[in-house]
Structure 1
Amino acid sequence: MEQKDMVRRTQAMELRIRRTMEALEKNNMRAYYAETSADAVRVVESLLQEGDTITCGGSVTLDATGVKALMRSGRYNFLDREAVETEEERQKIYRAAFSADAYLTSANAITERGELYNVDGTGNRVAAMLFGPSKVIVVAGYNKIVRDLGAAAAYVKGITAPANALRLHIDTPCTHAACPGTDGGLCDGCRAESRICGQYTVIARQRVQNRIHVVLVGEEVGY
């Protein structure tokens, strides 16, 4: 691709991000643009106070951008579910998340209408996003921006669910072929005991203004 075409592609991507940011703001969510992953870490850092009690949902994006490293820097009281050994300890962290100063996560998809679309297995991540923590910080690559909720469902069916199942070594139908719901509703026909698509949420206009902060990264990160 020629340099001028790369520039135009970048400009188009930034226009889409700005359009999505405006929609998020109209839905009472604070929106930020981070050109790079390093910039995203600096934005997140500015949203936290030293000594804050923080925790997070499972997220490839937080790892890939370096946000998880910031969380483990020792400057915060990080309730790290990956640092415990038993399921009982993990469950305690899941419940403690509701009283955390900040909950960090990504979103499965973000619509240009300013909606956060998420699909969870057990629901601990989406539950904390919906209610509890004083502040929710969402970090997402521009690759997760979609036109509307229909496109969000298609993105999760075609990319997010199979990629996460493969990452977690979970045997689901979507890791062998197309999601059974590709031509219909999400996960229609999936009866796998290990199914990771269990809870579906749409976060739209918020009644608590600026509780949710969305950092959009000008890079492809996460899935």
Structure 2
Amino acid sequence: MILLFTDYFNSLENDEEDFDWMHINSLSLIGDDSLILSSRETSSIIKISDIYGSPTVDYLISSDQFWEGTGYEDLLLEQVGDFTLQAGQHCVTYETSDELSDGQYYLTMYNNNNATISTRDYDYDSDENYDGTYSGTEGDESYYYKYLVDETAGTFTLVDSVPVTYSGYVSSVQQVGDNLLTDSGSAFEANEFDQDHNLIQTLTGSGATWWYRVFKYDYSGYWFA
């Protein structure tokens, strides 16, 4: 087993008047010309098509209350089911399956469950799309989230969720065969679960900086036979 760790760092010396309005923390390519973006600052997942021509925002997965009055309300996919939305998410990844219909696919992510924002005045406590979230570095639970997106129907549904040690920032998830690997970066904790979400092993550590992402590779056919 090989675990790769990347320390979190910020090499930018920002002026106090500068704002990170979106904070894009992951990109996932769909086909040849579409992208799924994860915006931590707005707790939004954004799909953009025709990225090499005339880029167009296809949809948003986010709170309708957050985007109210912006002119982008019509881009929001409809939530199906009763669950709290992703908040401050990281590592949003596109997955497909032969069992799905046209226009359907999965989006997996580390739902930090951190409803905080620094670039605008917004009260997450009054947003009915969130429940049991935290703000900042202190909290009880983050989650592995898996959405089923149906572009034809214009909907998204939470089809899988696993509670993990809270990490307000950074972090990642990875499907490794039938297993699931999660990284609670600010807690310096990585967990591997089997296909039934039973915990197989936990790796913990410490350091001056957070575990930004944790991924597992066997390098079969590359370093090993």
Alignment TM class, shorter chain as reference: under 0.3
TM-score, normalising length: structure 2: 0.25
TM-score, normalising length: structure 1: 0.25
**Structure with greater proportional strand content:** 2
Higher relative contact order at CA 8 Å, sep ≥6: structure 1 or structure 2? 1
**Structure with greater proportional helix content:** 1
